[in-house]
Amino acid sequence: MTQWVLVAVAAPALFRDLGPDVVGLALESYDPDAYDGRGDAAFTGDPAKAKRFPDSRAAMTEWTRQSVVRPLREDGKPNRPLTAFTVSPMPMDEWVA
């Protein structure tokens, strides 16, 4: 059975200035409620640490997971911190290759 990962395709400019580029790395962890609903995500190049999903739909559902502590942004739209990153679901064996 194929496992899927979420691979960063682009990161917001703000994040690029704060640390290493995450493009090409897979999601390791995501907590939309961290930092009072501002969210926290970690990306990895290590296949053993990459968060795995049963299919692409489950991966994209994680990408759009909404904060419970701060469900709405200031503009009234859903607060989905990970959507600040552009990601692509990818079969694990294609990402590792």
> 66: domain range?
4-96
What is the separation of C-alpha 52 from the centre of its chain, rounded to a whole number of angstroms? 12
Predicted pLDDT at 12: 79
Decide: pTM greater than 0.75: yes
Residues 6+ apart with CB under 8 A from 65: 30, 32, 80, 82
Sequential DSSP letters for 25-62: PEEEEEETTHHHHT-EEEEES-TTTS--BSSHHHHHHH
Instruction: Return averaged pLDDT per consecutive 10 residues of the chain, 97 residues in all.
Output: 93 65 93 95 95 98 98 97 94 89
Quote the pLDDT of residue 65: 97
| Residue 81 DSSP code | G
Residues 6+ apart with CB under 8 A from 91: 2, 3, 4
Q: How many structural domains are present in the chain?
A: 1
Q: Return the pLDDT at 16.
A: 59
